[in-house]
Amino acid sequence: MNNCTMNTTGNGYVEPIYCIQWTAKSGCVIENYGNLRVNLSLNFSSNGTSLIQGGGSPPAIWWFNITENETGSCSAGMHQPAQYYAGWSNITQVFWTNGSSICDNLSSTTSGNNSLRIDFALRIPYDAPSGTKTLNMTAIGEAVET
């Protein structure tokens, strides 16, 4: 079907035929400018199904992929949600209203390796309703005592 598919990996990708007046850019970068390590979690205000709607086949997707923007930024390791597949987590299935941990001990500016990158992939079914769609992503950093 004539679905619009795009993502922000690399320089971004937009399916040229069905995504009209859209431009995919690079993903978001979260950087710890403080002097303490933080435990980082994300919270999304909506899941992909309620955000995009439409009953197309294939259905709407709203995925994200979190990587270290600088090697060693997440010193205690990254947490991938249960609905994690081939580098992508499906926000359609992962509806985080209370925040979900993604990184323990995100390094501070004193280490030099202190940032994560979040990329997004979006598929809008051909029959999705038109109109403004809004999703809030909140990054929550809690200081780690040393």
Whole-number Å distance between alpha carbons of 7 and 76:
28
| pLDDT given for residue 88 in this prediction | 74
Strand-pair partners of 137: 44
Whole-number Å distance between alpha carbons of 13 and 28:
15
Residue 51's φ and ψ, nearest 5 degrees, are -70, -50
pLDDT at 103 over 60: yes
Question: Tell me: the pLDDT tens digits for 76-102?
Answer: 877 765 444 456 776 655 545 566 778
pLDDT at 138 over 80: yes
- Average pLDDT of the chain? 78
pLDDT at 133 over 70: yes
Report the pLDDT averaged over residues 16-34. Answer: 79
Task: Delimit the domains of the chain by residue range.
Answer: 4-18+27-143
Residue 130: exposed, middle, or buried by beta-carbon count in 10 A (0-12, 13-18, 19+)?
Answer: exposed
pTM of the model: 0.80
